[in-house]
Structure 1
Amino acid sequence: MSDLDTTKDLLGELIAYPTVSADSNLELIALLANRLHDLGAEVEILADETGSKANLLARIGPDEPGGIMLSGHTDVVPVEDQDWTSDPYRMVERDGHLFGRGTCDMKGFIAAAVAMAPHLAGKQLRRPVHFAFTHDEEVGCLGARNLSDILRDRDTKPGLAVIGEPTMMRIIEGHKGCCEYTARFTGLEGHGSRPELGVNAVEYAVRYTARLLELREHLRHRAPPGSEFEPPWTTINIGRLTGGHVHNVIPGLAEVDWEMRPVQEADHRFVREEIEAFVTRELLPEMRRVHPDADVITQVIGEVAGLEPMEHNAARDLVAELTGANGTDLVSFGTEAGLFQQIGMSAVICGPGSIAQAHKPDEFIALDQLEQCLKMLHGLTDQVAA
């Protein structure tokens, strides 16, 4: 059986598991773990605190630092309210395309990587090759966050990470982060005729929002020299501001939903520190002079680190050598790559399929994309073989 046929068969098995982020991925993880274990790989199943989700970390080759990690997420987005022409959890082949939820985002890469594992297992390797398959990427990269925390403290952590998100096999060396927050304001209700006796949560939410907009203007001047992002600076967006009920009641509750898309980690820290200082030094003292129980609590909905383009990037250079690509690109969508970069790994994004198909009805991956991915992985096998 050819590597492409093996990949197709495994991908069909993976698609049959409806690993929507809200549901467990344990059965799929067990399938992959058993497959790799049977090849002689060292396998770890790393469950989350609920026990219903897990990451898979496996290694073929020597137990030493500096290996290469092939990474992909196992969760998919829901299919409810989407008009599919076939069962999204039964892979269908038509006209050189494989249809099914997760085919391109991103079980296609996972299937190709595992299909190539026997070639790695059959050789003496100079460098270890790791397989990292995570949970809950679609809802904030929760699995990769847990995995990076574990890898950070390991002496034998990989040196390079190739994240196989669908890029049409283009080499992606950077993307912005995505950080989402909800700020909740608790004031003191009262009659609108005596505003000095209440704590107007909406007014403090408005002031909080105004400070974010001031910071947004500062960020325009912090763009890294030569930044190729569009726009080249970190952005802030106010998504929702709610509070109050009627005209003549001082509102006691309000919420602000906002997001930040940092081009560099320093901007993320700058905004968080500035807005927290504003709350601590100005808003809370004023609110609590009237009502000691007044509060402002910011909930982190998700903080996905960006992948910062680096002058020296061994992962990028390796994939360029394997694919023969002469250039790199940036993308607007987020991935797990930045989390691995933050713990000292070189990281690059390159995988089969198009992001234009992700999250849509009749999601598909083209067979020629899988063939290109397998060609890259064959090259990797030759690269690490003794």
Structure 2
Amino acid sequence: MTAAQDAQAREDGARLEAAIEILTRLVSFDTESSKSNLALVNFVESLFDDYGVDYVKIPNAVGDKAALFATIGPKVDGGVLLSGHTDVVPVEGQSWTSNPFELRRERGRLYGRGATDMKGFDAICLAMIPEFQRAALRRPIHILLSYDEETTCRGALDAIRRLGEDLPRPDVVLVGEPTLMQVADAHKAIVTYRTTVHGREAHSSKPYLGANAVEAACDLVCELYRFNEALGRRGDPAGRFDPPCSTIEVGVIHGGTARNILAKQCAFDWEFRSLPDVPQRLALDHLEEYIARVALPRLRRNAEDASIETWAEVEVPGLAAEPGSAAETLALKLAQSNRTISVPYATEAGQFQAEGLPTVVCGPGSIDQAHQPDEFLEESQVAAAISFMRRLAKELG
């Protein structure tokens, strides 16, 4: 090994350890989406202060959560935005073999809630700041850490709206969700809904005196699954997604008070994951047409005041492939790859693209580990992401 190679190996090892040290701290903060992330934000602010990095704190309306936007390099528009989220999914009900909020390092793996999704990426971005600073960047590297990605995907929106206003507008956005460092240029959209049926109570011995909300809700659920089968037959013309179609799933249903009472109310929660070129309202429009034509007239036979309502809870746009975009071109170069992939899960990437920003998804770890008990990130993936970031610094330096 030459002296230069030996020095590089030492630098590689030091940067890996720095990333793991920061990840240890990030994992230690319980930032389940139902809880505040401010303790983690305060820690990251202290890192920015130590590094001498300019940043902006973007709190939510309530003030119990915040996003952070930092810039390394010249304070101008352009450059690359590295985007990650700070919240994680719950651990309740999962069988962990160690404390999920204490990073466990074992046999080349880093175990802890959020290690893969996606505090590992966040930690790597933060650990790379000294190298970014030494690179004498001609174009800036921005870091955005958001919140509530796991529930509403709205935690990045305030920052996105300010890009090009009082925050620099990047040329390219790289969202670091886990892709095993492959470049994903497309993902599905998701909308989650709650449908509530309002009927009329009556004794079950005389059903003609009421309107059973449970019966109507079950009919609507069946209709959604009939439409889901039709979506499966349509398939995915691009042939890139798994499963190769838009999908509908009903996850929760509840209603009624007793088995011998016609239910006054019944509600169910459902989702529609659509291919990027499929309208996000497609499933809702189909259900509302069926309600108007079939379900509601049937429900109102014995209860004129019966009603059915549906409202969207979460709407996350898909990411559409843009072959040859600035984001795809740069990410493939940095990943030393010549092909892109698509992913079936939703991310914040579609929100950036909706604002006209070329965006791709590329980050360490496997989505198969996300949300799982004993979630882990391979150290080799951390090393690969560090190499990716070094090539980014060289590209912009």
TM-score (norm 1): 0.87
Shift of residue 26, structure 1, vs aligned partner? 0.6
Task: Tell whether 2:355 aligns with 1:343.
Answer: yes
Select the residue among 114, 138, 141 that pairs with 2:150. 138
Is the 8 Å Cα contact of residues 234 and 267 (structure 1) preserved in structure 2?
no
Residues 88-103 of structure 1: pairs in structure 2 closer than 5 A: 88-103=100-115
Inter-CA distance 252–150: structure 2 relative to 1 (3 Å threshold): farther
Residue 188 of structure 2 aligns with which residue?
176
- Supply the AA of the counterpart residue of 1:243: G
> 1:299: how far off?
4.0
Q: 1:237 to 1:97 in 2, by over 3 A?
A: closer
Cα offset, 1:322, TM superposition: 0.9
21, 36, 49: which one aligns with 2:61: 49
% same residue: 38
Match among 59, 62, 74 for residue 74 of structure 2: 62
Structure 1: give runs of 5+ residues left out of the alignment. Answer: none
Aligned-pair CA distance for 1:195 = 4.6
What is residue 345 of structure 2 aligned with on the other side? 333
Deviation at 1:262, TM superposition (A): 0.5
Equivalent residue of 2:31, what SS? Answer: coil
Distance (Å, rounded) in 2 between the aligned partners of 1:206 and 1:253: 12
Separation of aligned partners in 2, 1:364 and 1:335: 20
C-alpha deviation, 1:46, in angstroms? 1.2
Which residue identity is paired with 2:191? C
The number of aligned residues is 385
Instruction: Kindly indicate whether the alpha-carbon contact (under 8 Å) linking 2:77 and 2:164 is maintained by their aligned counterparts in 1.
Output: no
From the superposition, tell whether residues 279 and 49 of structure 1 become closer, same or farther in structure 2 (CA, over 3 Å): farther
Amino acid across the alignment from 2:388? M
- Quick check: 2:190–2:280 contact (8 Å CA) kept in 1? no
1:162-214 deviation digits (Å, cap 9, x = unpaired): 11122221222222233222211112212446555433323432443354345
The one-letter code sitting in structure 2 at the alignment partner of 1:77 is V
Kept after mapping to 2: 8 A contact 1:265/1:305: no
| Whole-angstrom CA distance in 2 between matches of 1:85 and 1:203 | 43
**Offset from partner CA, 1:285-342 (integer Å, 9 cap, x none):** 7767865654323243433333222323322221110121122222233322222222
The verdict on how the C-alpha distance between 1:269 and 1:78 changes in structure 2, with shifts beyond 3 A counting, is closer
Q: Where do 5+ consecutive residues of structure 2 fail to align? A: 1-10
Shift of 1:67: 2.9
**What is the CA–CA distance in structure 1 between the aligned matches of 2:324 and 2:236, rounded to whole Å?**
16
> What displacement does 1:82 show?
3.7
Residues 297-312 of structure 1 correspond to what in structure 2 (within 5 A)?
A: 297-312=309-324
1:269 lines up with 2:295 in the alignment: no
Is 1:354 the counterpart of 2:369? The answer is no
Aligned equivalents of 2:201, 2:306: Cα separation in 1: 11
User: Is 1:371 matched with 2:394?
Assistant: no
Tell me the secondary structure at the aligned position of residue 13 of structure 1.
helix
Aligned pair in 2 of structure 1 residues 217, 59: CA closer, same or farther (>3 Å)?
same
Which residue in the other structure is 1:296 paired with? 308
User: CA, structure 1 residues 84+220, in 2 after alignment: closer, same or farther (shift >3 Å)?
Assistant: closer
Report whether the alignment pairs 1:251 with 2:260. no
Cα contact 1:192–1:250 (8 A) shared by 2: yes
In structure 2, the residue matched to 1:128 is 140
Return the alpha-carbon distance in structure 2 between the equivalents of residues 41 and 17 of structure 1.
Answer: 22
CA distance in 1, matches of 2:307, 2:207: 18
- Displacement of 1:221: 6.1
1:190 is paired with a residue of what secondary structure?
Answer: coil
CA distance in 2: counterparts of 1:177 and 1:328, whole angstroms = 18
Distance between the aligned counterparts of 1:86 and 1:248, measured in 2?
Answer: 47
**Whole-Å Cα distance in 1 between the matches of residues 364 and 226 of structure 2?**
41
1:312-323 maps to which residues of 2 (within 5 A)?
A: 312-323=324-335
Deviations 1:50-85 (A, max 9, x none): 211111111223344333111111112333344444
Q: Which amino acid aligns with 2:270?
A: W
Question: For residues 46 and 281 of structure 1, do their structure 2 counterparts lie closer, same or farther at Cα, with a shift above 3 Å needed?
Answer: farther
The alignment status of 1:188 with 2:183, answered yes or no, reads no
The match for 2:48 is: 36
Q: Distance in 2 between matches of 1:283 and 1:85?
A: 48
* 2: CA distance, partners of 1:115 / 1:6: 6
**Cα–Cα, structure 1 residues 242 and 130, in superposed 2: closer, same or farther, change >3 Å?**
same
